[in-house]
Amino acid sequence: MNQTDNSQVVPAIRFRNITKVFGGVTALDDVSFEVMPGEVHCLAGENGCGKSTIIKIITGVYQPEPGAEMEIFGQPVSSINPTMARKLGIDVIWQDLALFPQMSVAENIAFEGVLGNVPKFVNYKTMRTKAREVLARLGVTLDLEAPLHTLSVAERQIVAVGRALVGEAKLVFMDEPTASLTQSETDKLLAIVDKLSADGVAVVFVSHRLAEVLKISSRVTVLRDGKLVGVYDTDGMTQSHLTELMTGHTFDSVVSAQDHSAAPAVLEVKGLSRAGEFSNIDLTIHAGEVVGITGLIGAGRTELGHTLFGMTRPDSGAITLNGTPVRFRSNRDAINCGVAYVSEDRLTLGLVQPQAIADNIVLPVLKTILDRFGLFSSAKKEKTVRYWIDELSVKIGHPNDPVTTLSGGNQQRIVLAKWLATNPKLLILDAPTVGVDVGARAGIFEIVRRLAGQGLAILMISDEIPEAYFNSDRVIHMAGGEFVNEFNPTNVIIPEIEEVVFA
């Protein structure tokens, strides 16, 4: 991280006494926030604490209540709008990146700088030159003509950073930039953040991954329930202390592994293979057992999950559920056999975003909420929805509110509710805490342990080794489409697993 003597340096931004009220609800209450040039600064807190609100105020999307004081690069401002913020060198890379999938890398990076605000013919040569220059500044190489949709998530993040730099950004907010990245991809992105800092660009980093927060930033501003908890140096800060500051609670990480080998086998896989994805997979999961699979990108973990859920078909091998051989032609077959799958892509595959919370919960079980005449029963729907909202302690306004009104953690609970309503015997969790804050993560894993205690067999896929380590009975390392190691958390420590996985 870039350490700077700030005693004689004018802050990149200094916002004081920021309050914001929405419909009588105070989202921010007298919050102050300051970032120095070239600093990597973390903005931390649980979902709903006010992080997004303060970013939108700084970038002019929202206006604060009267009484706020705002300075940008030493100049007092009475108000700010998004266009003004961009001209002053403030940019935001949101979690969804806001890029154009069908446009090329060069077009995504440089279109605004080339076109400006006045319509004119596109100079593609200038566009490619600008894109090439900014990528060189970041120390990376990408195919400038490649359509964005052909790139990995990590490469799209680089394109989003490049677009900000074309606009000569001096302060960049990065909202959950590593949520969908593997550890190796994360390390590359953090190296780019270090490079930006060394070039004098201030970076405000928002992430639920506390280890990388402490690794990359020099200071962290903590918000809780719309209030400022404090600003802290990250030197000497621990994840557990930061968690306590963010939530007001302590969370103890303890190994929960138990031996379930005497329990009945729910899933048995023998020699399962699918060309180009995985090969010769042998796996048994017993009732009440949580088996974690971890590994680097391209290991074949998600692809294996898709096949076990009937989304793809294996080329060879056998799958047995509760002692009965099965061959899935579709995911509907898998659901009917008692398999549920929580996708890593909650926003597009896990939920129907425009629909209500209640509709999302009952979507896989519509047949069970019909009356004896085969007609839709509002009473059965309401009973099902209320049961799972209470069972999983989902915090909602009204069941008919759009699911987008919920925080990331509560959205994930709705995804769990949706699949648990199918009464599964095997639950596949693919990156179940992506984009979920630390407090909500703890709640999700409490649910996972409770479900396992009720006899549900669980396969959990995770990039984060500590997550798999503390919440699984066995941890399997997958690489190159094969199972290469198996670890028992009771007789191994995390660094030993990390040394093997990241070798």
Residue 90 domain flag: yes
Nearest-angstrom CA–CA distance, 58 and 70: 9
Other CB atoms within 10 A of residue 129 CB: 15
Decide if pLDDT at 207 tops 90: no
Average pLDDT over residues 135-149: 89
Residue 271 domain flag: yes
In the DSSP assignment, the letter for residue 356 is B
Which strand (E) or helix (H) includes residue 299?
none
Decide if pLDDT at 331 tops 80: yes
Nearest to 441, CA basis, from 460, 422, 426:
460
Contacts of 169 (CB under 8 A, 6+ apart): 89, 90, 91, 201
Decide if pLDDT at 115 tops 80: no
* 85 and 128 both lie in a single domain: yes
* 157 and 299 both lie in a single domain: no
Instruction: Tell me the residue range of the domain where 412 lies.
Output: 353-423
Decide if pLDDT at 346 tops 70: no
Q: 165 falls in which pLDDT band (50, 70, 90)? A: confident
Residue 5 domain flag: no
- pLDDT at site 5: 53
Decide if pLDDT at 223 tops 60: yes
Model confidence over 166-201: pLDDT tens digits? 878 899 999 888 776 766 777 888 888 999 999 999
Other CB atoms within 10 A of residue 218 CB: 19
Q: 96 falls in which pLDDT band (50, 70, 90)? A: confident
CATH code for the domain of 433:
3.40.50.300
Residue 346 domain flag: no
Mean pLDDT for the chain overall:
88
Average pLDDT over residues 115-142: 79
- pLDDT at site 268: 98
* 267 and 325 both lie in a single domain: yes
* 363 and 305 both lie in a single domain: no
Angle at 16 between CA 13 and CA 20, to 5 degrees: 110
* 468 and 403 both lie in a single domain: no
Decide if pLDDT at 247 tops 90: no
Give how many domains the chain has, as a whole number.
3
Other CB atoms within 10 A of residue 225 CB: 14
What proportion of the chain, given as a percentage, has pLDDT over 90? 46
Q: 352 falls in which pLDDT band (50, 70, 90)? A: confident
**Which spans in 61-120 are helix H?**
82-87, 105-115
* 333 and 437 both lie in a single domain: yes
Residue 388 domain flag: yes
Q: What is the pTM of this model?
A: 0.67
